[in-house]
Amino acid sequence: MLLNRRLFPIAKVKFIINRTSSNINSTNKWISPISNFNYLGVNSYSTSLNVKPASSGIHYITHADLSSQQIYNLIVSAIQHKHNVKYLNKQSGQPLSGKTLAVMFSKRSTRTRVATETAVAYLGGQPMFLGSQDIQLGVNESLLDTSVVVSSMVDGIMARVGSHSDIETLAKYSTVPVINALSDMYHPTQILADLMTMHEVFGPQPKDESSYVAHLTHPKETLPGLKVAWIGDGNNILHSMLVTFPKLGVHLSVATPKGYDPSKDVVKIAQDEAVKTNTEISFTHDPKEAVKDADVIVTDTWISMGQESEKAKRIKDFAGYQVTSSLAKDGGAKPNWKFLHCLPRKQEEVTDEVFYSPRSVVFQEAENRKWTILSVIDALLVKKSFD
């Protein structure tokens, strides 16, 4: 797991360059062993290369790297940005004028992309979207090479990747801050939006829609003690909740079908933090058990991108996991419980009755993606600190 402010020593690596037929493709072109990760060969000469991991200061990869205060700082900053921009019509002062953020997405995105590009534009910078068809993100060029090259031309990188090791590699060799826009292990910006929304919902309420009061109360006064019930897959959203909520004193009850449990390593991180903050974390395969006394019920897609071939099996395995009013009532959720979903939503995950009800704050949650991503970009590229 990549830690912020980590200094990496220069690593001298021996590469045995093989010019045998195994390094020649069907078009008879030479394939660099560094590009296709074929670092070892035989019957060839060798050379020593200096591979120097970079130290750009800080990255935003997972909340496991941050302290509770640093997480709170991001939430408070996001709330203040929302108040300043949406309600006071304040300008940013263009602190990123002349700066570019590379938005490198290997997967489709709606909320994260729109939030990122509008946030960078507000700060006066230029977002440069680079999709999977635009650059060779791990295809025909190693992530190491991509990280070194792209980071030499931009001021920050926001990357949506597949394997979590990809975002770690990008961050390790980048000379500029890297933001995790989603990996198969974590989705930290989504959890910031969830926490901001919970603060707005359970804190003091404005007199009308034209006013905003969330900035007048610190999240430390509203978030600790809340109970969130997760009903769904043991995926990257749940992982991000597990490494975040215990640090803030937010209780978490998890219900996943058998065989869809979260990572044991992530659970261990959560349990260690929970002991420090006296926070409750529980796991079950019974959704009704999980929602007991819940302030918030959360679910997510049962079928993530890349899992389409598993659709029939997953829908069968997740039978009984649809969020419904009766589930909440029978399970004993609190009378004023609220519903969250990171979107896009499928009807098998939650009924229309819940999704479009006053209990649902999913669109407020979606909008808050902008303000929380703005907060992260501001911290890394402008303030250059989470503190």
* DSSP track, 127-150: EEEEETTTS-SSSSS-HHHHHHHH
> Which residues share a beta bridge with 15?
47
CB atoms inside a 10 Å sphere around CB 209: 6
Taking the C-alpha atoms of residue 278 and residue 376, their distance in angstroms, rounded to an integer, is: 28
Pick the closest to residue 235 from 272, 186, 194, 283 (CA basis): 186
Taking the C-alpha atoms of residue 105 and residue 90, their distance in angstroms, rounded to an integer, is: 30
Pick the closest to residue 70 from 233, 197, 227, 195 (CA basis): 195
Q: Amino acid letter at 9? A: P
CB-CB contact of 76 with 383 (8 Å)? no
Name the catalytic one among 342, 350, 362, 379: 342
The SS3 of residue 235 is coil
Those residues with Cβ within 8 angstroms of residue 119's Cβ, 6 or more apart along the chain or in another chain: 370, 373, 374, 377
For this structure, is 214 an active site residue?
Answer: no
Letter string b/e over residues 54-80, b meaning 16 or more CB atoms within 10 A of that residue's CB: bebebbbbbbbbbebebbbbbbbbbbb
**Residue 344, preceding peptide bond in cis (omega within 30° of 0):** yes
Residues designated as active site: 342
